[in-house]
Structure 1
Amino acid sequence: MLAYRFGHDDLLRTRFAISPLMELSGSIQAFREPEQHAVHAPWAAWARDRITGLDWDLLDAVVPPNSAYYPDFFSPPPHEPKAQLEGELSRVLTTDPHQVATEVRRAHPNGLTDAARLLVDDPERGMRQLVAQMRAWWDALLAPKWDAILAMLESEIAQRGRQLADVGPAAAFDDLGERVRWRDGRVEVDTVNSDAEVDLAGRGLLLVPAAFAWPDVWPMSDPPWQPAIVYTPRGVADLWAPEDADGASGALAELLGARRAAVLLALDRPVATLELAARLGASAAGVSAHLQVLRRAGLVGGRRAGRHVLYGRTRAGDQLIRTARAAATEASTR
C-alpha cells in the first residue's frame, strides 16, 4: 500500500492538472492490448488503420508490455493545470540521461531490448528519436480525438473540485478507484510493488484525470516528481460512443426542441449547470432556462450539494428516453 499523508496545508494545496503525456502513455497500452482495455477498444480499432508506417519501437521500450513499472520521465506529472503537448515534450527531451538510464533499466529487469539500449547507451540520439515518435503518435492517433477527451477531463475536474470544496476529502478521494480510499488524514492506494508512506509536507497532492488510465490508478511518489495520483475520470465509458447511436435525439428534438433534448440526454449523471453548459458548449443562462422547463415538466430533478444544485433525470425523464430509443430501434428494423 502507498499512503499519502496530509498535513495542515496539504488539502489547500491539492490541485488538478491535465496531462497530454499521461494520455499518450496510456494509449500505447490500450492500443497494444485492447482486450484488457475494453472501454477503449473502439478507439484502438480506429487507430489500427492510422498506425501504418508509424515507428513506435521506442514507445514500446518505455511502455513495455506487462511491466510492473513504467518510466516516469516519459510522462512526468505536469507543472501547469492544463499542460500543452510541446512544453511537455521539451521536459522529456531535457531529462537527465542518468535518470533515463535508471528508469529504463528498472522497466526492463530481464534485460534491455535493442530500442531500450539506445536510450541508455546513446541518450542524446535516443531521446531525440523518442520525442519524434511521441509527436508522430500524438498527431496520428490522439490529436483528432483530443477535443472530446479534453472536454471530458475539464468536466471531471470541475465536478470533483466542487466535491472537494463542498463535501470534503472523503467524498472527493474515495471514488478515484476501487484501490483508493481516504482514511485518517491519508489517501491510501493499494499497490502490489510498493509499501510506503509519503509525507506531502505542504506540497499537496496532484490529481490527474486521464481517460487512458482506465481501468486503473497510477500513484506516483518518486523524487523529483510531485506526489500524484493519475486516475480514471467519470464518463470515460461514453467517450467513444457514436453520436446518437440509438437514434433517440432526433425524435426528442422534434418533441422538445434540439437544445432541450440535448440537455435531457446529457443528464446521465447528476451535474451542475456550469459543468453541463461546458459539456454542451452552450451558455449557462440558456442551459439553466432549459433545465427549469424540463424540471417543471417533471423530466428533471435537482438536489443541493454544498453551494451548487446538481440536476439529473427523473424516472419520467428516463422513461421518455427509453421510449424514444425503443421507437427509433423499431423504425430502423422495418
Structure 2
Amino acid sequence: MLRYLLTEDDLGAVRFGLSPLCELGLSLRAIRDPSRFPLQVGWLRRTESARERLDMRVLGALIDERLWTPDFLNPRPTSPLTRLEDELAALAATPREVFRADLVGVHGRVPEVFEGSSRRALARIVRELTRLWETCFEPYWPRMRAVLEADIAYRGRQVAQSGVATMLNGLSSRIVYEHGLLSVMLRDPTERARPVGGEGLTLVPTMFTRRASAPIGDGPPMIMYSARGQGTLWESERVANPAAVAAILGDARASLLTMLGDPASSTELAVRLDVTPSAVNQHLRVLRAAGLLTSSRYGRSVLYLRSDLGTALLEGATG
C-alpha cells in the first residue's frame, strides 16, 4: 500500500502527463505475460514478428516475474507533450548509482547482462528501446496517443464538473482518496506513506497497467493508471444509431454523433469505425459546422465532443 499525503495546495496542483518511455517500459509486462493484458492482444499480434528481431535478453532483464520494472523506465513526464527523444537522452545520462539501485530494487541484484560498465549497459538499453519503439510503437502511436489524450480530457471534465476528489476516486478501484490521503493498493506488500510536500502529484494514463502502478523507490509522486477506451482500440466498432437521426444525417455521421458523448480525436474514431481518418474528418467538419459538435485542441490532437444541440437531437430521436 502506498499512501500520498496531500495538502490543499497539493490537491490543486495535481497534473497529468504522457510518457512514451513509460509506455515502452510498461509494455514489457504485456510481452512477458500476454494473458494479463487481454485488451492489448491486438497490439501483441500485430507486433509479434517484429519482436522476434529484438534483443530480448536486454529487454527481458528490465522486468521480473512480478512484472516490476525499474524506476528509470518510468520518468515523471512534465506535460502531455513529452518527447521520447528527450526521455531517452535523460535515460542514457542516468547516474551509475541510480541505475544500479533501480535494478536491485526490482531484481535484488544487477542482472548479468548489465554487469560491468553502466554507461555501456545504458547504451544497450537505449538502443533496444529505440528499436522496440520504431518497430512496435511508432506505427500505432497516433491511435494510442489519441486514447491517452482523450482520457486526460475526460478526467479534466470530471474535475470541472465534480471536483478533484471525484476524479481521483474514479481513476481505479485500487485508488481511494479521502480527506487528504490518497491510497494506492499495489501488489507490493510494503506499507509506504509519503507527503507530496509541494512536489506535485502527476497522473499518467497508460495502456499497460491493469489497475494502478507507482514508482518502486522514493521518486517524485506519480501514479500510472489504466486509460479509458482501450477496448475498442484494435477492433472496429458497431454503433446503434437512432433510425430518425440516421435518416437525416446518414449512418456515418449518426454513428459519430452517438460515439462522441466523450471527447475523441479523428484518429481514434477512425480506428473504432475501421475507416480512414480523412473520411472521418470530412464528416466531423460537417457536424461541427451544423453546431452538433464542439472541438478543442489538446496536445497534438483535436478532440471532438457532442454539443448540447447534438445531445438534444439524439435524445429527441430516442425519447
TM-score by length of structure 2 reads: 0.80
Separation in structure 2 between the aligned mates of residue 158 and residue 188 of structure 1, nearest angstrom: 23
> What pairs with 1:1-334 in structure 2 (closer than 5 Å)?
1-67=1-67, 69-109=68-108, 112=110, 116-191=111-186, 192-213=188-209, 215-220=210-215, 222-223=217-218, 225-241=219-235, 243-244=236-237, 246=238, 256-257=249-250, 260-267=253-260, 270-271=261-262, 275-276=263-264, 280=269, 282=284, 285-286=288-289, 288-289=291-292, 291=306, 295-297=311-313, 299-300=314-315, 316=318
Q: Note the C-alpha offset of 1:276.
A: 4.3
Deviation of 1:79 after TM superposition, in Å, equals 2.6
* Distance verdict in 2 for CA 1:293–1:172, change over 3 Å: closer
Offset, 1:23: 1.0
Percentage identity across paired residues of the two chains: 28
Asked if structure 1 preserves the Cα contact closer than 8 Å seen for 2:17 and 2:77, the reply is yes
Contact 2:240 2:255 (8 Å CA) reproduced: no
Instruction: Please give the secondary structure, in 1, of the residue aligned with 2:214.
Output: strand
Structure 2: give runs of 5+ residues left out of the alignment: 270-280, 294-305
- Please list every run of 5 or more consecutive structure 1 residues that lacks an aligned counterpart in the other structure: 302-313, 318-334
Give the CA RMSD over aligned residues.
2.8
For 1:295 and 1:79, locate their aligned partners in 2 and report how far apart those are by CA, in whole Å. Answer: 35
User: Structure 1: how far apart are the matches of 2:288 and 2:12?
Assistant: 31
Bigger Rg, structure 1 or 2:
1
- Residue 5 of structure 1 and its aligned partner are, at CA, apart by 1.0
**Secondary structure class of the residue paired with 1:121:** coil
When residues 18 and 247 of structure 1 are mapped into structure 2, their CA distance, relative to the original with a 3 A threshold, is closer
Distance 2:48 2:178 in 1: 43
Q: Alignment length, in residue pairs?
A: 288
- Distance in 2, matches of 1:169 and 1:144, equals 35
In structure 2, give the amino acid aligned to 1:25: G
Deviates more, 1:28-37 or 1:58-67: 58-67
Q: Is the 8 A contact 2:71 2:102 kept in 1?
A: yes
Q: Report the Cα offset of residue 254 of structure 1.
A: 7.4
CA contact (8 A) 1:21 1:75 kept: yes
Tell me by how many angstroms 1:169 deviates.
2.3
Q: Is the 8 A contact 1:182 1:188 kept in 2?
A: yes
In 2, are the aligned partners of 1:31 and 1:47 still within 8 Å (CA)?
no
Letter in 1 for 2:94: T
Residue number in structure 1 paired with 2:296: none
Q: Secondary structure at the match of 2:18?
A: coil
Would you say the 8 A contact 1:15–1:207 is kept in 2? yes
TM-superposed CA distance for 1:293, in Å, is 6.4
